[in-house]
Amino acid sequence: MSLAEAREALARANRIIALEGVLDAFGHVSMRHPSDPGRYLLSRSRGPELVQPEDVHEFTLDSQIVKPIKERLYSERVIHGEIYKARPEVMAVCHHHAPSMLPFCVTGMKMKPLNHLGATMGAQVPVWDSRDEFGNTNLLVAKPEEGASLARALGPYWTVLMRRHGATVAGRSLEELTFRTIYTARNAAAQIQAELLGAGLEPLNAEEIELGGNSNLMPGPVMRAWEYWSVRLDKAEGNRPPRKPKGPAAKQSAPKRKTVAKRKKSKRGR
Amino acid sequence: MSLAEAREALARANRIIALEGVLDAFGHVSMRHPSDPGRYLLSRSRGPELVQPEDVHEFTLDSQIVKPIKERLYSERVIHGEIYKARPEVMAVCHHHAPSMLPFCVTGMKMKPLNHLGATMGAQVPVWDSRDEFGNTNLLVAKPEEGASLARALGPYWTVLMRRHGATVAGRSLEELTFRTIYTARNAAAQIQAELLGAGLEPLNAEEIELGGNSNLMPGPVMRAWEYWSVRLDKAEGNRPPRKPKGPAAKQSAPKRKTVAKRKKSKRGR
Amino acid sequence: MSLAEAREALARANRIIALEGVLDAFGHVSMRHPSDPGRYLLSRSRGPELVQPEDVHEFTLDSQIVKPIKERLYSERVIHGEIYKARPEVMAVCHHHAPSMLPFCVTGMKMKPLNHLGATMGAQVPVWDSRDEFGNTNLLVAKPEEGASLARALGPYWTVLMRRHGATVAGRSLEELTFRTIYTARNAAAQIQAELLGAGLEPLNAEEIELGGNSNLMPGPVMRAWEYWSVRLDKAEGNRPPRKPKGPAAKQSAPKRKTVAKRKKSKRGR
Amino acid sequence: MSLAEAREALARANRIIALEGVLDAFGHVSMRHPSDPGRYLLSRSRGPELVQPEDVHEFTLDSQIVKPIKERLYSERVIHGEIYKARPEVMAVCHHHAPSMLPFCVTGMKMKPLNHLGATMGAQVPVWDSRDEFGNTNLLVAKPEEGASLARALGPYWTVLMRRHGATVAGRSLEELTFRTIYTARNAAAQIQAELLGAGLEPLNAEEIELGGNSNLMPGPVMRAWEYWSVRLDKAEGNRPPRKPKGPAAKQSAPKRKTVAKRKKSKRGR
């Protein structure tokens, strides 16, 4: 993947996760640089729904911008940098304050996968509390040591709740990250309803979480979801998808289809 | 109904049920082949909101594709094939993970019709648990024996809940299936609220379920709802319905009206 | 108001109440004939969101169509006819199954106004149960005696809940009906949340309901809300409102403004 | 800021807060006159989603219109005038009936910030009850003494709940007001869910509220949110934002960018 393709894909992931209601004016999505694992890509400071490829800049793993710009930067960049440092296999990170997950950030309620889609949140969802190491703060994760502490709390898992703040999610690809971020937030919304019904909630067990989560993170389901959200984004942005895939208008979504094709490993869908 | 009309209608049902919030990136809708009861029609693997007539292919009741294609197929096709085998009167099937029904999939709470529209879910909504026969799995219903087990659990009813997974719905026509799928999900959302109010929920009794459900599944209400959802889909897809039914633009929705007319048996509406 | 204007306004009220989420594929809105109090206007059977002026027909108070048509009619017309018979001051009626009110239809929970807008539901919201007089039915109110029974339950009030079914709302004008229907449904949604918080819900008292409800049903607030919903409908239907009220496009909304002007009695808004 | 720019910005704030679901047919937003602190700007009486610059008029702090017009005025203008009198640092006020905050208006439940974004509601959210001083009324705050009483209840804080009515919010700028209004309503919705989970809700403590709230009300976050909501509004109104900021279409959003630039004080984002 070229740097230009990466910036295009990252901008799109920002806008998809915003359109699906997980990000709003705040939060951000990054990806590791496609050819230099010692750098990552992140937008300048603006609402994720507005991010375009030209907003995306390169950062070192110490979260310094490579080519300084005049515009503002996200102050919480260290969330991304410190996770990339700690987890070489992580290729993309999203930090958000999804409304459906805030109730879990301020109570002792554990997040539980209700089905295989929710199981992509990971075997456990650890909780990080900024008070434990840093006392009373403005809640922002702006210092390197705060980012490093959060990364330690995430440990080997994929989603970490941040007390009185939000959540941070990691993925082995931008598309996996998008899938996990959205379905974990959806699962949380349904779990609240299920907890309230109070009739003995029984979520997936450990083996089901592993089997179900892994099978959903295969290229087939991940790219199927990515195509779906991507077309929804195109529609919401006024770029109507072509009805006939062979017509001239079809070129618009060509890159996306190509990505699906390149990653396709088996014919086994869902 | 010709095969071409069937593919058009099935693609439309996929997109309607997605637009109405029951399907998202996952789930699928099938219909029995209009002239060969030993086959069914189903899209290749893609988000239901994206399904176009050219995505729809023919499958045997053993869920093998009749003319192999290069693209991925849904892995859970056996849900459809095994139900068509077991229930000759079933002409359409939808498998989904509606957010409003997931709480019922992980608790012991029974689904209850709150009014005549919800009564179309059927006299009972049985629950199938993949663990009972197959132990811990990835939750997907991908093997013929898993599909057959689910079809047995559905029995003579129309909606079956799948523990820690979602639901599967059957209908005697594509339009009836669409009606039942959407109104059952809507009823579930309202039931959660009603259960929480906790002031003595009293749903329809058995005779009211039968009378109310049946009266809603007459051609009149079913086609009225189908026309409504179909026009909403056209609007969402940028195909505005004509304001004057006699203008030249009216041809756009002509097939739909024709279908309504053909099925019309009585003038008794609602 | 001419008959043509009445049909236009009634079609618009149908589409407004649908757009605002109270009506869906089912339910209907009627108004008394503008010059003949012994007749009322109602659409032929179709989803309210689709109703156009040419769909609106005249009915006697016995709910017989004046000029028979080929298309289907709503089977529950008697809800409208019997209320118009019993209540000469009622000029418009809406029957619906709003999701936020269904929980009140199946539990013993009383509806309570949370603020002055909700107070337009009326001093009391009586409950009608079809089982009391008619035993187990399909829940539809299709027979004259069923409609008359419902009208008796409504009594001198403005909103009646129908057990295991939905609700029926009356108004002294189409615009008042639209206001009461929408704000009563919105109030119900908020009340459910308030009841669940369980920290001593204290609604308006009887005098506040009367004062607050009446002040909201003055022409000013009612027409302000009607203009708002009407412009939202225009936007949703692709008829963008003019930005400059004096431009040529402004004619599109001229009838609406005129109505506002005609009814304006004081400058006291809100 | 010129008066023309102020009217444009105020109209936009009205439409933004409506689009984001806090205002509906009712409620209103005002700002202090940009060059005369003894006056404020407010729309004539119409739904906030419809307010255009030409609807905005000047009022004295006694809530009298400076140049009388024929159209109706909001009857609750004194909410604005009395707060501007009592609080010289307040530059903008919003009165609303957000659905997510009504449950707090009728119960004894206190509003609690779940994260730093919610902390912008202020250190405390006092509650005003019209019954305390004025007994049973129609709930409207229409008399100067009612407005003054509400302003006293607000005291030195930024958000005041009005029992059985709604809420009023103040800000040191239009953009700060918009931020606080929207995020307080969003926090309320999430708090209801968190309270229901009932597993020991622990919100921000006093120091975190101060630190987190203040850091969010710096120009960076406030203008980032304003740009985001402003572009969403443009999209909803059919004015698509330019994809390439240097293209000719970019002029459309030029005023907004200029405002961001002018206020920008540091590069520290979030």
Q: pLDDT at position B245, please?
A: 42
* ipTM reported for the complex, 2 dp: 0.90
Taking an 8 Å cut-off on Cβ atoms, the answer to whether C136 and B205 are in contact is yes
Q: Looking at the predicted structure, is the pLDDT value of residue D25 above 80?
A: yes
d(CA B257, CA C253): 30
Q: Looking at the predicted structure, is the pLDDT value of residue B134 above 70?
A: yes
**Residues of A designated as active site:** 76
Which pLDDT tens digit goes with each residue over B23-49? 999 999 999 999 999 999 999 999 999
Report residue C173: phi and psi, to 5°.
Answer: -160, 165
Query: For A3-27, what is the mean pLDDT?
Result: 98
Residue A55 touches partner D, C-beta closer than 8 Å: no
Quick check: D253 and D230 in contact, CB under 8 A? yes
Query: For D107-122, what is the mean pLDDT?
Result: 96
Type of residue found at C268 = R
Q: Looking at the predicted structure, is the pLDDT value of residue D261 above 50?
A: no
Size (chain B), residues: 270
Residue of A nearest to B105 (CA): A114
Taking an 8 Å cut-off on Cβ atoms, the answer to whether A215 and B54 are in contact is no
Q: pLDDT at position D198, please?
A: 82
Tell me the nearest-neighbour CA distance from D199 into chain A, angstroms.
Answer: 5
Q: Looking at the predicted structure, is the pLDDT value of residue B252 above 70?
A: no
Query: For C81-87, what is the mean pLDDT?
Result: 98
Which pLDDT tens digit goes with each residue over B192-215? 999 999 868 999 999 999 999 999
Q: Which two tokens stand for residue B181?
A: 């799928």
Which pLDDT tens digit goes with each residue over D223-249? 999 999 999 999 999 886 544 444 333
Residue C222 touches partner D, C-beta closer than 8 Å: no
Nearest to C193 among D24, D139, D192 (CB): D192
Q: H-helix or E-strand containing C40?
A: strand C39-43
The CA-CA-CA angle for residues C164, C169, C172, to 5°, reads: 170
Tell me the nearest-neighbour CA distance from C163 into chain D, angstroms.
Answer: 25
Q: Looking at the predicted structure, is the pLDDT value of residue D258 above 80?
A: no
Q: How far is CA D104 from the centre of its chain?
A: 18
Residue C269 touches partner B, C-beta closer than 8 Å: no
Taking an 8 Å cut-off on Cβ atoms, the answer to whether D107 and C201 are in contact is yes
Which pLDDT tens digit goes with each residue over C101-119? 999 999 999 999 999 999 9
How much is the CA Rg of chain A, to the nearest whole Å?
Answer: 18
Query: For B68-73, what is the mean pLDDT?
Result: 98
Tell me the nearest-neighbour CA distance from A149 into chain B, angstroms.
Answer: 33
Residue B114 touches partner C, C-beta closer than 8 Å: yes
d(CA D180, CA D172): 11
Percent of chain C scored above 90 by pLDDT?
A: 86
d(CA B71, CA B49): 17
Residue of D nearest to C267 (CA): D72
Nearest to C25 among B115, B201, B228 (CB): B228
Residue C48 touches partner D, C-beta closer than 8 Å: no
How many C-alpha atoms does C183 have within 13 Å on its Cβ side?
A: 32
Tally of CB atoms within 10 A around A224:
23
Query: For D6-34, what is the mean pLDDT?
Result: 98
Residue B264 touches partner A, C-beta closer than 8 Å: no
Which pLDDT tens digit goes with each residue over D32-83? 999 999 999 999 999 999 999 999 999 999 999 999 999 999 999 999 999 9
- The three-state secondary structure class of A227 is helix
Nearest to B224 among C45, C54, C105 (CB): C45
C198 vs D189, higher pLDDT: D189
Q: pLDDT at position B263, please?
A: 39
Q: How confident is the model at residue A245 (pLDDT cuts 50, 70, 90)?
A: very low
Q: Looking at the predicted structure, is the pLDDT value of residue A252 above 80?
A: no
Tell me the nearest-neighbour CA distance from D149 into chain C, angstroms.
Answer: 18
Residue from A22, A180, A208, A263 whose CB has the most chain B CBs within 10 Å, to mutate = A208
Q: pLDDT at position B187, please?
A: 98
Q: Which residue has the tokens 């057959």?
A: B148
Quick check: A181 and B107 in contact, CB under 8 A? no
In DSSP terms, A161 is beta-bridged to A127, A167
Strands lying side by side in the sheet with C39-43:
C56-60, C39-43, C28-32, C92-96, C166-171, C159-162, C127-128
d(CA B169, CA B166): 10
Report residue A60: phi and psi, to 5°.
Answer: -75, 170
Q: Looking at the predicted structure, is the pLDDT value of residue C13 above 70?
A: yes
Nearest to B211 among C46, C54, C136 (CB): C136
- Give chain B positions within 8 Å (CB) of C238: 240
- Which of C182, C242, C258, C261 lies closest to C216 in space, CA to CA? C182
Taking an 8 Å cut-off on Cβ atoms, the answer to whether B107 and A224 are in contact is no
Q: How confident is the model at residue D255 (pLDDT cuts 50, 70, 90)?
A: very low
Q: pLDDT at position D267, please?
A: 43
Q: Where are the beta strands (DSSP E) in D75-123?
A: 92-96
Q: Looking at the predicted structure, is the pLDDT value of residue A39 above 90?
A: yes
Q: Looking at the predicted structure, is the pLDDT value of residue B270 above 90?
A: no
- Give chain A positions within 8 Å (CB) of D212: 137-140
**Cβ neighbours of residue D208 under 8 Å, at least 6 residues apart?**
A136, A137, A138, A139, A164, D116, D119
**Residues of B designated as active site:** 76
Residue of A nearest to B74 (CA): A270
Q: pLDDT at position D121, please?
A: 97
Residue of A nearest to D216 (CA): A138
C-alpha distance from residue D181 to each of A174, D79, D160 (Å):
33, 16, 11
DSSP B122: -
Residue C139 touches partner B, C-beta closer than 8 Å: yes
- Give chain C positions within 8 Å (CB) of B235: 237
Residue B97 touches partner A, C-beta closer than 8 Å: yes
The CA-CA-CA angle for residues D104, D109, D114, to 5°, reads: 85
Q: How confident is the model at residue A240 (pLDDT cuts 50, 70, 90)?
A: low
- Give chain D positions within 8 Å (CB) of C198: 107
Nearest to B103 among A194, A266, A270 (CB): A194
- Give chain B positions within 8 Å (CB) of A196: 192, 196
Q: How confident is the model at residue D259 (pLDDT cuts 50, 70, 90)?
A: very low
Residue B53 touches partner A, C-beta closer than 8 Å: no
Query: For A204-221, what is the mean pLDDT?
Result: 96
Which pLDDT tens digit goes with each residue over C154-188? 999 999 999 999 999 999 999 999 999 999 999 99
Q: How confident is the model at residue B146 (pLDDT cuts 50, 70, 90)?
A: very high
Q: Average pLDDT, whole number, for chain C?
A: 91
pTM comes to 0.91
- Give chain C positions within 8 Å (CB) of B190: 99, 102-103
Mutual orientation of helices C144-154 and C77-86 as an angle, nearest 10°? 50
Residue of C nearest to D100 (CA): C190
Q: How confident is the model at residue A241 (pLDDT cuts 50, 70, 90)?
A: low
Q: pLDDT at position D200, please?
A: 82
Tell me the nearest-neighbour CA distance from C202 into chain D, angstroms.
Answer: 5
Residue B265 touches partner C, C-beta closer than 8 Å: no
Query: For C231-235, what is the mean pLDDT?
Result: 96
- Which of C243, A57, A11, A70 lies closest to D257 in space, CA to CA? A70
